[in-house]
Amino acid sequence: MHDVAALAGVGLSTVSRVVNGDVKVSPAKTLAVENAIRELGYRRNDSARHLRTGAAASIGLLIESIADPFFSLISQAVEEVALSRDSLLLSASSHQDAARARRMVLAFCSRRVDGLIITPSEDQSIDYLRTELTAGVAMVFIDRPVPGLDVDTVLTDNVGGAMSGVEHLIAHGHRRIACITDRAGLYTSSHRIRGYRNALAAAGIPFDPALVYSADDTTDTLAGPLTSMLDAENPPTALFTANNRSTIGALRVMGGRHNRPALVGFDDFELADALSPGVTVVAQDPLAMGRMAAELLFRRLDRDTSPPQTITLGTRLITRGSGEQRP
């Protein structure tokens, strides 16, 4: 910048003004500066700019795993909003590791990002979040709330969505409906299980704990338990899989079986329509979730001080055949 000013024969501030598109610069000097910039291959150092202005023009996104389509769609939506606001995206995956989540959030904060969008981990203290929050860092939670922290949050209607899926099965004559989830303690799983139970209760179907299976790592461990459930004396005639990975895991297990039970899965996935029968799902809208979270965040960065809000997005039942099979 110093060199540019020297070459153009102007002061530092004139260079700064030209770079930032300030109008009050004479055309002659503007031109001289632009030429010098081109000549020297100058590019503004945003790090220094950030230090001076306090605006990082970047936000941090912490999700569970970028390899999960649900989260990569959220990520895409956040990126679009950030782009439209000339903000860059720092992103990280926690992989359900609370220590890692903490580390990444603190790293973002050290960078002084303008704000944070976080899928909170559930298995550890979130004191550090409270610290940052009181330090004035803008934050939006997505997919799960954090108990005790009153912060903007974007959620899916897990209970209602699960209910609609299970009701669909019940409407098609099923009364023995199994529920497959990953870790039952997780926010989304527990809410979807609640929706499942609500739907059963509303239909006067007794809850049978033997029909609920929760795993730590669905992909690896689902095969055994699910097989024995299906081979049991009084097997379920339908399955409600409470998340993406459970649905796909169940499809794998059932691939080799005849007499497959009906299936409704929570969360849509690619090729759900190309399987036969097509897989009926309770679809979330990850793009909308990401977009709303980002918009909420930028609204805060624009000094909106209204009370924190929680947005709950509805789900959509997409019927493709697998849930319509009668027992």
Instruction: Assess 20 for contact with a second copy (CB under 8 A).
Output: no
List, as one string, the DSSP characters of 274-307. TSSSBPEEEE--HHHHHHHHHHHHHHHHTT--SP
Name which of residues 30 to 59 contact DNA (CB under 7 A).
42-45, 48-49, 51-53
Query: Cβ 134 to a second copy, closest distance in Å?
Result: 8
- Nearest CA to 249 out of 144, 178, 160, 188 is that of 178
Rounded Cα distance, 101 and 121, in Å: 7
| Nearest CB to DNA, comparing residues 2 and 326 | 2
Segment near DNA (CB under 7 A); pick from 6-14, 56-64, 249-257, 261-269:
6-14
Instruction: Assess 96 for contact with DNA (CB under 7 A).
Output: no
In single-letter form, the type of residue at position 83 comes to L
Residue 248 interacts with which of a second copy, DNA, none, CB < 5 to 8 Å by class: a second copy
| Nearest CB to a second copy, comparing residues 28 and 271 | 271
Rounded Cα distance, 81 and 75, in Å: 10
Output Rg (C-alpha) for the chain, integer angstroms.
26
**Which of left, alpha, beta for 121 (phi over 0: left; psi -120 to 50: alpha)?**
beta
Residue 234 interacts with which of a second copy, DNA, none, CB < 5 to 8 Å by class: none
- Nearest CA to 104 out of 145, 80, 132, 143 is that of 132
List the one residue from 21, 24, 136, 255 that touches DNA (CB under 7 A): 24
Instruction: Assess 316 for contact with DNA (CB under 7 A).
Output: no
Instruction: Assess 135 for contact with DNA (CB under 7 A).
Output: no
Instruction: Assess 316 for contact with a second copy (CB under 8 A).
Output: no
Neighbours of 309 (CB within 10 A): 12
Query: Cβ 20 to DNA, closest distance in Å?
Result: 5
| Nearest CB to DNA, comparing residues 4 and 289 | 4
Q: How do strand 280-283 and strand 262-266 relate by DSSP bridges?
A: parallel
Instruction: Assess 72 for contact with a second copy (CB under 8 A).
Output: yes
Instruction: Assess 51 for contact with a second copy (CB under 8 A).
Output: yes
Segment near DNA (CB under 7 A); pick from 9-17, 114-122, 133-141, 292-300:
9-17
CB 94 within 8 A of CB 119: yes
Half-sphere exposure of 248 (CA within 13 A, CB side): 14
List the one residue from 36, 56, 105, 178 that touches a second copy (CB under 8 A): 56
**Neighbouring residues of 64: CB distance < 8 A, sequence distance ≥ 6:** 71, 93, 94, 95, 96, 119
List the one residue from 20, 23, 24, 67 that touches a second copy (CB under 8 A): 67
- Interacting residues with a second copy (CB under 8 A): 41, 43-48, 50-51, 56, 58, 65-67, 69, 72-73, 75-76, 79, 83, 88-93, 100, 106-112, 131, 134-135, 248, 251-252, 255, 269-271, 273-276
